[in-house]
Homo-oligomer: A and B are copies of this chain.
Amino acid sequence: MLTQSEENYLKAIYSLSEDQKEAISTNLLAEKMSTKPSSVTDMVKKLSVKKLISYQKYQGCELTVVGKKRAIQIIRKHRLWEVFLVNNLNFGWDEVHEIAEQLEHIHSSKLTDHLEEYLGFPKVDPHGDPIPNKNGVFEKINKSIALSDVDTAVKGIVVGVEDGSSGFFQFLKRYEIGLGTEIKVVEKFNFDLSVLVLIDGKEISFSSVVANKIFIQIK
């Protein structure tokens, strides 16, 4: 049985591994976990002993097959709970992350499976992220792209945002941006990497921070 901390590390390593195929460095993981590199070293040693990651001193770490499966199961739980909170308990999609962070650590695969069935086997969570099935299989073909990477004059609809601070969700609410919102990139400014977009007829300038966090699907 894994501790919550161990589970959170697995999740973080999984998440970082989606962006790069090389091993995850200690510093990067420390940043992701909001902790110190020395703490990370301690933990990766422990996870390595448990065969959940492969780790060589000074060489970073990678999930093993077993570790990856575990990580996906945690993500599965997280996303299913988010669906429940939004669809059934009337939470806003911007309030569910923290609660799901807690719920994802409940140990009972029967609970997860019953919940999934109760929710009608949803394929995506309220942020547009795909939900793995019981066997850890899920559609990775989410061809969404960050606003910062979209070419000028291209438009698409919001299919996801990066999990972030509640401040970010406030921001989205303020501009009435949600799943399905149509956004067109009008102009991109290289000097500060900001992006000028068109939403519902209004021009808005997004800083690079924001542009990196909003994902749209083109066409």
Contact = CB atoms under 8 A, between A and B. Distances in A.
Interface stretch (A36-44, A99-107, A195-203, A208-216): A99-107
A167 to B, nearest CB: 19
Interface stretch (A52-60, A85-93, A121-129): A85-93
A56 B89 CA distance: 44
Nearest to A91: B114
Copies of this chain, tallied across the complex: 2
A115 interface: yes
- Would you call the interface of chain A mostly helix, strand, loop, or mixed? helix
Contact of A89 (B91, B95, B115): B115
B88 A99 contact: no
A20 interface: no
A191 interface: no
A155 to B, nearest CB: 36
Interface in A108-145: 108, 110-111, 114-115, 118
A34 to B, nearest CB: 17
A89 B103 contact: no
Lowest 6 A-B CB distances belong to which pairs? A89-B114, A102-B106, A99-B108, A99-B111, A89-B118, A88-B118
Given A89-B118, A99-B111, 8 more contacts: A89-B115, A91-B114, A99-B108, A102-B106, A102-B107, A102-B108, A103-B103, A103-B106
